[in-house]
Amino acid sequence: MIYRHTLANGLRVVLEDVPAVRSVSMGIWVGTGSRDERPEQSGISHLLEHMFFKGTKTMTARQLAEVFDGIGGQINAFTAKEYTCYHAKVLDEHTDIALTTLAEMLFTSLMDEAELEREKGVVMEEITMYEDNPEESVHDLIVEQSFAGHPLGANILGTRESLEMIDRGQLMTYIEERYTPSNMVISVAGHIDASAVLRRIEELFGQFSRTPRTYVTGAPSFCTSQLFRAKPVEQAHVCLALPGYAYEHPHTYGMILLNNILGASSSSRLFQEIRENRGMAYSVFTYHSAFRDTGLFAIYFGANPNQAQSVLDVIEEMVQEWIAQGITAEELQKAKNQVKGSLILSLENTSSRMSRIAKNELLLQRQVDLDEMINEVERVTVHSQHDLIRELFQGPFTFVGLGPDSAPLQYSSDLPRSEDR
């Protein structure tokens, strides 16, 4: 059963009691991410996420880690485009220890200047690691190109230049402006006494008050462009992107199913044709990223540089076939079965449950139960999928290619092409 409650200070709490398990997953979710940063703050959300683990008034960074190691639990965090999450998973008997430690991190972290400088170095190494991994960096580049000039396109890690400029005062100001009760959700799922957990959350998190200040930006425009970046790599990496759909768009469930059919599973059209039938690439897939006011649909593949242009040509031919022929009833039914199976199987994991109810509360301001999701999946028809294909693929792709200078790639559209060598 799911319980929703709003504390007097405006902080939202969502709890799910799962009696059949012995674990408890919890998260502090903050509605701020890289798209909420001013240009001069680029990377501050992610840097701040690191700093909450660097020591509090009573515990060093090592002692914080030892708390969870000592009880056989896990603690971690991540930063996304539109939210940041601090999450833990423990045995049910250690729920209070985990909640208390998370509260201590949130309210008494030192944000020590020396630690900040060290952590900047860590994040810069993280940037270097991604730059050295074209299979990862191509996905950052496609977002950057697609939403050029808008904070949504900025890299979550920031840049070396922006990180150098961030000081402790900016971190504290960002906390005051963005880590506010009305912009936060605490989510707990697992073997819990919901009333007792809620009382403890009231004690730990119910007394702070901050006035939110936001950096307001409108919805980004999708930018069609081409970028080929020469890198000394053994494999070419390519992303093609089109405008997608926001969280609550009418096409949300249709997009989930279409993504599954086209490239998100091992039986998908792209995987079967490019990898299984032709043996042209090891990794090929599609994905859809939804945001609060827009989305991004992308196709990725990695291939031998001398064969990558041929793979690109085959994909363009397949897209034209999708537009002309749509999908079959058999493909749609298989995708529905896969999606429903994935939804139901995720209920066996308390971390998945915690994330699901938290995102519903933070992003949608409501809870979407399993029956509603399955009903929406079942409502999708072959005809509506064909309409979606024609709408999705009506414009030119944004193209990003990473590969050796000896084998430059070019998308066949008549878009102006830029080269970054």
Which residues does the annotation mark as catalytic? 49
Question: 194 CB contacts (<8 Å, ≥6 apart)?
Answer: 1, 3, 15, 17
Asked if 243 and 294 count as a contact pair (C-beta separation under 8 A), the reply is yes
Asked if 82 and 178 count as a contact pair (C-beta separation under 8 A), the reply is no
Report, in angstroms and rounded to the nearest whole number, the Rg of the chain calculated over CA atoms: 23
What values do phi and psi take at 77, rounded to 5?
-155, 160
What DSSP string describes 122-142? HHHHHHHHHHT-HHHHHHHHH
Q: Could you tell me which residues are beta bridge partners of residue 23?
A: 91
Residue 265 Ramachandran class (φ > 0 left, ψ -120 to 50 alpha, else beta): beta
Residue 137: which of 111, 156, 115, 120 has the closest Cα? 156
d(CA 261, CA 220): 28
Residues in the chain: 421
d(CA 6, CA 240): 42
Work out the angle between the directed axes of helices 168-178 and 44-51 (0-180°, nearest 10): 100
Asked if 82 and 208 count as a contact pair (C-beta separation under 8 A), the reply is no
d(CA 396, CA 412): 10
Residue 368: which of 398, 334, 343 has the closest Cα? 343
Residue 161: C-alpha distances to residues 41, 158, 283 (Å): 10, 8, 33
Asked if 174 and 43 count as a contact pair (C-beta separation under 8 A), the reply is no
End-to-end CA distance of the chain: 55
Is 402 buried (19+), middle (13-18) or exposed (0-12) by CB count in 10 A? buried
d(CA 335, CA 344): 14
